[in-house]
Amino acid sequence: MWYHRLSHLQSRLQDLLKGGVICQALPQPTFKSLLPLAVRWHHTASKSLTCAWQQHEDHFELKYANTVMRFDYVWLRDHCRSASCYNSKTHQRSLDTASVDLCIKPKTIHLDETTLFFTWPDGHVTKYDLNWLVKNSYEGQKQKVIQPRILWNAEIYQQAQVPSVDCQSFLETKEGLKKFLQNFLLYGIAFVENVPPTREHTEKLAERISLIRETIYGRMWYFTSDFSRGDTAYTKLALDRHTDTTYFQEPCGIQVFHCLKHEGTGGRTLLVDGFYAAQQVLQKAPEEFELLSKVPLKHEYIEDVGECHNHMIGIGPVLNIYPWNKELYLIRLFKEKQDMVNRQWNSSLQCCIPERTLTYCHFISGTSIEHRERLM
């Protein structure tokens, strides 16, 4: 039963979160050539690449850049980038898709160096660069990685010696911002040091990257162990490895944490690379990876404290992947906010970050798993 398998997976993944394993990039599926059709191909040489195509009754087949692609004629007509069909300033279509004949076929097709020209029955001409077609074809997308990443555990991250960025450089120079963004996109976490311990400076740093999202907590908020909100984060209890806002239909993509003041002991933060854990599941138990990426779970947040009355539900699988290339892009993991498992479950892995000074901000993506030690 789903429940039995998902419960078993939860136990296995919690064990995996505590262990070190070898890091490699998530394997991308290799494209297998399509079977050749018994139709004569048109062959041309384009620079150092060979281009060949066939005209079929309902689609256009193209061989280029070691890729075999198939395009529906309606798609080719609808995606025309001519001035009468596409507004290059707004990057929006001008052509009414509903006006395209579903049985449309080009009258002629010819190649000029690296550009294909389609002449349609009404005389309109559509031209496509060959590389544009590869980039935007379904087959090309299957081979493309949306966001290259470096997967890590404690040892890998420490050996990488990923540098922090100074606050002033981050705010005032393109080089500082670029350095930060490179670290963040590759590792899913990044640090800015020497940030004055104020809400205003924290907000200024966040706005340097993107717009700040409004939530049930506001745009910017303080939290401490005073139980002013109906959430475990506002207590002295430890929080196990998790991702935040799993109960949002669209969980936060970037979070900013800034420790303004610390008294007593405890409260250390452990950060974990969730993609690293997911990769181990994919390698060691591909059937379980598929289960975690297909079975939707309900994550629920219920709050009834003081003036705060909220009830939010987010639904989605633990591992969210792009269907065309199986690339992982989001993890939902917070078992405390996971609702009753009727026919569903959650995932991720372990990695330590060295303790830092109190005058830094750290940014984490929605795929890095956070753990907070109990406050004493």
Strands of 125-129's sheet, edge to edge?
A: 108-112, 115-119, 125-129
- Tracing tokens 């992947």 back to the chain, one arrives at 321
Taking Cα atoms as reference points, which of 137, 201, 151, 170 lies closest to residue 369? 151
Domain architecture of the chain: domains with CATH: 52-143 (3.30.2020.30), 154-366 (3.60.130.10)
For the chain, what is the largest distance between any 2 Cα atoms, rounded to a whole number of angstroms?
A: 78
Q: What is the pTM of this model?
A: 0.68
* One-letter amino acid for residue 138 of the chain: Y
Taking Cα atoms as reference points, which of 158, 215, 157 lies closest to residue 187? 157
CA atoms within 13 A on the CB side of 355: 6
Whether the per-residue pLDDT at 67 is higher than 50: the answer is yes
Two tokens, residue 202: 């924290």
- For 90-131, the pLDDT digits (tens) are 999 999 999 999 999 999 999 998 999 999 999 999 999 999
Backbone phi and psi for residue 41, each to the nearest 5 degrees, phi listed first: -90, 150
- For 287-327, the pLDDT digits (tens) are 999 999 999 999 888 888 888 898 989 999 999 999 888 89
- For 15-49, the pLDDT digits (tens) are 555 543 333 333 333 333 333 333 445 555 545 47
Whether the per-residue pLDDT at 352 is higher than 60: the answer is no
User: How confident is the model at residue 284, as a pLDDT?
Assistant: 95
Whether the per-residue pLDDT at 375 is higher than 80: the answer is no
CA angle in degrees (0–180, nearest 5) for 339-341-343: 135
